[in-house]
Amino acid sequence: MPRVHQVLASLGYGDAIGNSVLGIRRVLRAAGFESRIYVETADPRLEAETSDYRDMVDQVEDGDLLLHHFSLGSRASRTAYALPCRMMLMYHNITPPEYFVGVHPWLVRQCYHGRRELGAYASRVSLAAGASEFNRRELDALGFSNTAVLPVVPDFSHLGGVPDQRLLDAFDDDRTNILFVGRMIPNKRPDQLIRFFHAYQSLVNPDSRLLLAGSSAQFEHYRASLQYLAAGLGVRDIHFLGQVSNEELTALYDVADLYLCASEHEGFCVPLVEAFYKRVPVLAYAATAVPATMDGGGVLFDTTDPLEVAATMAAMLADEATEDRILATQDQALARLQAIDFPAVLLRYVNQALGAPMPEVKVSADFWRQYKLALELDEIREARPSAFHALPAEGEPRTATADIEHRG
């Protein structure tokens, strides 16, 4: 029986892609496939679930299928491309690099090169599946000939545990809690959340707080700018909670009165349907994949005027009857999502990809030599970092005499 493995740059804990990868592996193994997850890096809590991407070279065989989760260009991605096996692309979308200009230069480059690299897979894969219709249309525009939607059908088991008592004690009171869950990064527009909340708190409900749950790792300066914005506006009771555990996340949904999302770029946006599941009214900016994910549930807005958004927030929280009507639309949307037979859809696409002709893999003539040299360089960097002190200083001529003098 052919094996079906997954490959991606990094497996994160608790994020949408990470949960999707683990869910796909459960389906594949239940169907009888041998299945591994190959990565460059993984959260320490998930390392035991993964294999190093370099092991693919010896372990992946011609008859195997690789499900390649593409979100950024990476060494794992390029190695997978060069292997003589079938491949199916799983596209989670790449944030446009302009969101990170002046905030995270490395991520600007990665997003830019990732979007350029994505086009090369149009001739490499037999099927390209987006996590949403928005993603699928982007694949079509890039020239992929066979595209589909593999919907994200979240497994809500991570929200079924005992809620964190510390957070319940801190926030389960008579005050109105506005919640957002997601990384503190520019495309998710936490700055707009602060402005919207400022208008709501100032003009509608002074007895309210904003709960922001999400990592700001590698974006510490950006988070500081958000705190500076809040201080400048004079807004009170904004809580930057950082990355939270499943128990903490459960508690936050339990105490939330409204879920507010201002994100401008999403490939799916799992927290929206988590809020549906936890029966928290949702108000979200109608951009990219968000309207399709909400599927008629909750309330969408298309303005960036804080006064208008604050007025909508007030209307949604005005009385129980209004809230019940909104929750009913969310219940219906969630029911439609959960009615999708995700294992059946996934296995249909897997069998379709396995039945496709073997691809003609085209890489440069010296690809594998360069690959080997890169591995050797990594080994030196990890085992003997002091060896790099033997390199000529920047601007120094690279002559044999200079090298000898530098080492001496």
Mean pLDDT of the chain, nearest integer = 91
82-121 confidence digits (pLDDT tens): 998 999 999 989 999 999 999 999 899 989 888 888 988 9
Tell me: pLDDT of 401 over 70. Answer: no
pLDDT given at position 139: 96
Q: Grade residue 403 by pLDDT with cuts at 50, 70 and 90.
A: very low
Q: Helix, strand, or coil here: 213?
A: strand
CA distance 399 to 407: 12
Tell me: pLDDT of 394 over 80. Answer: no
Q: Decide: 193 and 240 in contact? Cβ < 8 Å.
A: no
Which residues, including other chains, have CB under 8 Å from residue 328's CB and lie 6 or more apart?
none
Q: Decide: 88 and 67 in contact? Cβ < 8 Å.
A: yes
342-378 confidence digits (pLDDT tens): 999 999 999 999 999 988 887 777 877 887 888 878 7
pTM: 0.86
Please report the domains of the chain, with CATH numbers, ordered by start residue. Answer: 4-153+341-354 (3.40.50.2000), 156-338 (3.40.50.2000), 367-407 (no CATH)
* Chain-centroid distance, C-alpha 286: 19
pLDDT given at position 209: 98
Q: Grade residue 16 by pLDDT with cuts at 50, 70 and 90.
A: confident
Query: Which of 248, 254, 251, 294 is CA-nearest to residue 270?
Result: 294
pLDDT given at position 391: 64
Q: Decide: 350 and 4 in contact? Cβ < 8 Å.
A: yes
pLDDT given at position 389: 67
pLDDT given at position 371: 76
